[in-house]
Amino acid sequence: MAGAYNDRDGYIWMDGKLVDWREANVHILTHAMHYASSVFEGERSYGGKIFKSRAHSERLLFSGRELDMEIPYTVDEIEAAKYETLKANNLSDAYVRAVAWRGAGEDMGVSSSRNPVRLAIATWEWGAYYGDSKFKGAKLDISKWKRPSPETIPVHAKAAGLYMICTASKHAAEAKGCSDALFMDYRGYVAEATGANIFFVKNGEVHTPDPDCFLNGLTRQTVIGMLKERQVKVHERHIMPDELEGFEQCWLTGTAAEVTPVGQIGDYNFEVGEMTRDIATAYEKLVRA
């Protein structure tokens, strides 16, 4: 599938039924467009099976509740809709996007309790998120923005509003010839990339930021489990920026990113080493098992 995302053949599931891709539209006064009242999930289907599918559906409902937005579907209903959409589009290996939002209704201000909560699911073919970086290592910029405090926003929800600084940071990174950007958090600790969690290797042990103010990704959790099964010591902790100089390897994890090696962050360089290659290969096998 190719072309602009609003002009493709196929079907999108919206509010309980499949509609033609080009007809899957919303009104300009949709609340989410003005006030970011939207949550979503990014998932991948491998050979017709969506990896960690129920966990994604459960997190979607959790994210909605965090925004005081009760999504009017059960996990089972969301699961059925995702597979119905894959089948309608004749897709097996695909990206799956479920998105819920407050639509247009009686309210058009900050308050939106009388507006309907809507749900849509789209699927499309999507290759490697970072292109050939999966082989040679991605290059990351360091963002000027910080991941916010949990006292300021529901940081553990996968909410659209949390991605505003991601878009700005990724645009700035791409302008410098980088694939992505690394965030520090509001305290100055290393946090994550714009859409992926980060891992480092030193002396055969793995270090990854404690997700106390950003999303604890499902791929992150999966990879930590894989490392522990291999008897690799994993340190989930606060990491200072000056520690980057001492790390030997680095990789990103995420549904879109899968496991992507990192070759450079700012002025710091990393090798695409044995542990990175092993985890990337093992993850690829796991999702297709």
Half-sphere exposure of 270 (CA within 13 A, CB side): 34
Q: Any bridge partners for residue 210, and if so which?
A: none
DSSP SS3 for 180: strand
* Candidates 52, 82, 134, 158; catalytic one: 158
Two structure tokens written together for 86: 């894959």
Bin 137: left if φ > 0, else alpha if -120 < ψ < 50, else beta. Answer: left
User: Is 144 one of the catalytic residues?
Assistant: no
Give the closest residue to 275 by CA, choosing from 258, 289, 261, 255: 261
Q: Any bridge partners for residue 124, and if so which?
A: 95
Give the closest residue to 23 by CA, choosing from 153, 120, 132, 150: 120
Cβ partners under 8 Å of residue 254, min gap 6: 42, 129, 193, 195, 196, 197, 217, 219, 220
Bin 219: left if φ > 0, else alpha if -120 < ψ < 50, else beta. Answer: alpha
Two structure tokens written together for 226: 């894989």
Report the residue count for the chain: 289
Phi first, then psi, for residue 283 (nearest 5°) are -65, -40
Tell me the C-alpha to C-alpha distance, in Å, between residue 171 and each of 42, 106, 107, 134, 226.
20, 36, 33, 20, 33
Q: Which residues are known catalytic residues? A: 158
